[in-house]
Amino acid sequence: MFKPAHRVDGFLLTALTADANTLKLDSAAMAVLEQAIGTDGTDHTYLLISGASTAKEVVKVTSIQDGVAVIERGQDGTSGLPFPATARVSYILSAGAIQDLMDAHAGMAVTITAGNQKTLVEKVGTNNYTISALVPDIYSSSYNVLSVQGGVGTDPYYLSINTGALGCCSDTY
């Protein structure tokens, strides 16, 4: 079953070849990963590996064996790439993770909680989801303002914002 690993943010201890199926993380990141998915092989999560250049890859961590993460390469449309030791590795709520959540809950709405933040994911069609999250209100003189950055590679995040009364003035970015 998919498990979020929110606090995984570390680096590779050894270089990763394009066809490797295991990776070794720094001890702090590995401890958080083990706490999130355990070592019995029943749970999994997704990580983003970022190289020194623009190289990025999403991997699925399927188990941990003897302190090493067993991975499935090239998730969410990425490809297996080589990465140097010290490449950054962090948790990502990827498209695969959202699909796993939806599959586990028979297509019903899923609420993801991290601390006091809640995100609601609802399936609205084949491979289409509505993601709703509470955002603090930030006001300029007369407009709501919201800034979002993110994305993997050249795929940006898209955001729908209601800038007025309920049902009024919705924009998608």
pLDDT digits (tens, 9 = 90+) for 76-130: 999 999 999 999 999 998 888 878 877 776 656 666 665 566 667 777 766 666 7
Tokens of 48: 């983003």
Q: Could you tell me the pTM of the whole model?
A: 0.66
- How far apart, in whole angstroms, are the C-alpha atoms of residue 160 and residue 116? 22
Residue 40 to residues 44, 100, 145: CA-CA distances in angstroms? 10, 19, 45
Which region holds residue 100: left if phi is over 0, alpha if psi is between -120 and 50, else beta?
alpha
60-81 pLDDT tens trace: 999 999 999 999 999 999 999 9
Tokens of 62: 């399927």
- How far apart, in whole angstroms, are the C-alpha atoms of residue 105 and residue 10? 30
Task: Say how many CA atoms lie within 13 Å of 140 toward its Cβ.
Answer: 7
